[in-house]
A and B are shown apart, each in its own frame.
Chain A
Amino acid sequence: MRPFGYTRPAGLAEAGTAAAEGATLIAGGTNLLDLMKLQVAAPERLADIGHVPGLDGIEETETGLRIGALVTNSALAADPRIRKGWPVLSRAILAGASGQIRNRATTAGNLLQRTRCPYFQDPASACNKRVPGSGCPARGGVSRMTAILGTSENCIAAHPSDMAVAMVLLGAEAEIRAAAGTSRRLALPDLWRVPGDQPDEETTLQPGEIITAVHLPAPRGGAVQAYRKGARRNRDAGTGCLARP
């Protein structure tokens, strides 16, 4: 890993300021630390928000559920309300990673995890997402796990999250706090950009913005929910995922 500074913001205001000043936020770290070891990611400063209070609960709201950004993937999949009312979300989460990873991985971190495209993860390869303008060897290369829809000439990487597939289907919204302290809600599909000609720009988040929660609307009554994933092994990112409410 490249050297970095480490701080623990006490609250969201401090975390937002750190992020606006260029610090990279870390909570579970299961994806970011892996990429730092590969030197695909080399942040100069880490702001560890894993202990910021008030972000690790699941609350019932007038319209559904509010899932705190730091709720672990394990806790979310095991929550009795999710298992009963939004079972496709439990199933999607349990279809990915391992028990150890799910115990650390957080809700917001899962949404913001990086692609598993092998060229992105290999600093010796060209990759327009990692080094803009360097090219995309995945086109015509090893592309078993890359995207079919939403690709561009510059990038064919897929988002690896199982959880996000179910959340998009369920009409989830991200609750986002700006460094100035204001809050906005964003339908999840609008959180991510398709690669286009700027594949290094992955989300629509502004500098200093932090995802503080995900809101799930009430489930549609009487619907049968299911999640199906095609992958070589369950722990791999899916090569194809289907979910229906």
Chain B
Amino acid sequence: MQITLSVNGETRGLDLDPRVTLLDALRDHLRLTGSKKGCDHGQCGACTVLMDGRRVNACLVLAAMAEGAEITTVEGLGSPEAPAALQAEFTACDGFQCGYCTPGQIMSATGMLGEAREGWPSHVSPSLAGPVSLSDGEIAERMSGNLCRCAAYPSIRQAIAKAAALPDETVAEAGE
């Protein structure tokens, strides 16, 4: 079937079997291999992308279901010359070991910081009324949909905390 996807601001037409997931469309058909396939069942978070600004597991969305949505992958976040705040902090804090989960971690953190800015509570928030204070425990809980087999979690949380402490507009730019 004919499917039109809008990815990182570009519109791309594809002829795909309805079974193709958004993740496979990105990786195998658009050659955007930054989004990774870990478990392919929505448990590891390596495939996390933004769909209309919200983080989702690209392995649990059919490409056909994503038609009409604006998709942002790690390739659309920043560049080596001008990395997004989270990309710079992951590098500065050594927030990875093998790096396989990193694009998903960074895309998830991008979405997560947006959710926190909007005041969304989490399971560990002491109050539902807010405001959200991104403690180490809050970051861990909010990032629990992203697994790191190397267990680089302390550095990942540190990188996210440092990006979260930057002025809002800097982080907001990373989410656009």
Residues of A at under 8 Å CB distance from B?
1, 3-6, 8, 26, 29-30, 33-34, 37, 46, 48, 50-51, 74, 77-78, 83-84, 87, 90-91, 94-95, 97-101, 103-104, 234-235
- The residues of B that contact A37 with a CB separation of less than 8 Å are 40-41
Compute how far the CA of A1 lies from the CA of B41 in the bound complex, rounded to whole angstroms: 12
Main secondary structure of the interface of B (DSSP, over half): loop
Compute how far the CA of A169 lies from the CA of B142 in the bound complex, rounded to whole angstroms: 26
The A/B interface has a contact count, at CB < 8 Å, of 104
- The residues of A that contact B18 with a CB separation of less than 8 Å are 3-6, 46
- Of the residues B19, B45, B64, contact of A48 by C-beta under 8 Å: B64
Contacts of B1-54 to chain A: CB distance below 8 A: 1, 17-19, 21, 40-43, 45, 48, 51, 54
Please determine whether A34 and B55 come into contact, CB atoms closer than 8 angstroms. no
- Of the residues A30, A34, A78, A104, contact of B118 by C-beta under 8 Å: A78
Please determine whether A87 and B61 come into contact, CB atoms closer than 8 angstroms. no
Please determine whether A91 and B128 come into contact, CB atoms closer than 8 angstroms. yes
B60 contacts A by Cβ under 8 Å: yes
In this complex, the interface size class of chain B, counting residues with CB under 8 Å from chain A, is 35 or more
Please determine whether B21 and A99 come into contact, CB atoms closer than 8 angstroms. no
- Of the residues A48, A87, A94, A101, contact of B145 by C-beta under 8 Å: A101
The smallest C-beta distance from A167 to any residue of chain B, in angstroms, reads: 17
- The residues of B that contact A8 with a CB separation of less than 8 Å are 64
Please determine whether A6 and B144 come into contact, CB atoms closer than 8 angstroms. no
The residue in A6, A234, A235 that gathers the most chain B C-beta atoms within 10 A of its C-beta is A6
- The residues of B that contact A77 with a CB separation of less than 8 Å are 120-121
Knowing A99-B145, A100-B145 touch, does A4 contact B19 (C-beta < 8 A)? yes
Compute how far the CA of A94 lies from the CA of B43 in the bound complex, rounded to whole angstroms: 16
Q: Which 4 A-B pairs have the closest CB atoms?
A: A98-B145, A6-B18, A83-B128, A78-B120
- The residues of A that contact B21 with a CB separation of less than 8 Å are 33
